[in-house]
């Protein structure tokens, strides 16, 4: 397989590495650990030399696996980096589904984002740890990674739309439009936080205005998304 094919490689048929298994099984835990190990190996190489200058074959060699084995875990070269986002694809949907009784979806999502700011969760963009800043620079400076990230965001919107429908009713299109707006707001807030931190402001310094921005953004969402407020 040529290097040019790595960005269009499709997900393989079910194999021992990709077959569904119980989440708590030893094999499942080992498989998740291997995903993480391969991804972290790749990210370290990309940070050191640049995404475009490291081949998939070099990543496989560094991870001590074959190239075909690597592609059984990661369908594309970009997914080696975006593996860190995999657990967050359905995060908004999980927040809505698991919210306390009678709490509106928007209230739960706003509270979750504010809690993330307080923890300096990297997903909110408000994290000034050097390794996180380096990762975000790699991500946002690589066009193919940014393009691939949109796929993760689309799946996040779809999952959130299903959760909103289950929580508050309405039709699929209404929920899909709402989910698109919510995910876009969260993305823009995170990108603005990252931009400020990357320019040299400390996370603690940015935090007060980041909280204000979240509250203002969700106030705007409530004015248009009455069903979910």
Ordered by where they begin, the domains of the chain are: 3-83 (1.10.357.10), 89-228 (1.10.357)
**pLDDT at position 21:** 53
pLDDT tens digits, 2-25 = 443 344 333 333 333 444 455 567
Q: Are 177 and 192 in contact (CB under 8 A)?
A: no
**pLDDT at position 26:** 80
What tokens were used for 149?
A: 């990230």
Q: What is the pTM of this model?
A: 0.82
**pLDDT at position 190:** 96
The mean pLDDT value of the chain amounts to 89
pLDDT tens digits, 89-131 = 999 999 999 999 889 999 999 999 999 999 999 999 999 999 9
- How far is it, in rounded angstroms, from Cα 145 to Cα 51? 9
DSSP 63: T
pLDDT tens digits, 202-218 = 999 999 999 999 999 99
φ, ψ for residue 30 (rounded to 5)?
-65, -40
pLDDT tens digits, 20-37 = 455 567 888 888 899 999
pLDDT tens digits, 124-171 = 999 999 999 999 999 999 999 999 988 888 999 999 999 999 999 999
- How far is it, in rounded angstroms, from Cα 134 to Cα 60? 22
Confidence of residue 44 (pLDDT cuts 50, 70, 90): very high
């Amino acid at each position: 397989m040529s290097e040019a094919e790595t960005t269009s490689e499709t997900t393989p048929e079910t194999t021992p590495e990709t077959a569904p298994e119980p989440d708590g099984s030893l094999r499942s835990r080992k498989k998740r650990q291997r995903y993480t190990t391969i991804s972290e190996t790749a990210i370290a190489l990309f940070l050191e030399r640049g995404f475009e200058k490291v081949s998939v074959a070099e990543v496989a060699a560094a991870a001590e696996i074959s190239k075909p084995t690597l592609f059984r875990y990661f369908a594309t070269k970009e997914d080696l980096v975006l593996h860190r986002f995999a657990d967050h694809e359905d995060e908004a949907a999980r927040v809505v589904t698991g919210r306390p009784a009678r709490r509106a979806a928007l209230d739960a999502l706003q509270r979750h984002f504010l809690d993330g700011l307080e923890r300096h969760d990297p997903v909110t963009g408000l994290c000034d740890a050097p390794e996180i800043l380096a990762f975000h620079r790699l991500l946002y400076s690589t066009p193919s990674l940014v393009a691939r990230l949109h796929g993760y965001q689309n799946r996040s919107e779809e999952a959130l739309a299903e959760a909103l429908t289950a929580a508050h009713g309405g039709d699929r299109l209404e929920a899909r439009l709402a989910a698109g707006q919510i995910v876009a707001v969260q993305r823009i807030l995170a990108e603005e936080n990252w931009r400020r931190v990357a320019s040299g402001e400390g996370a603690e310094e940015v935090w007060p205005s980041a909280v204000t921005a979240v509250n203002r953004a969700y106030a705007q969402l409530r004015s248009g998304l009455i069903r979910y407020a």
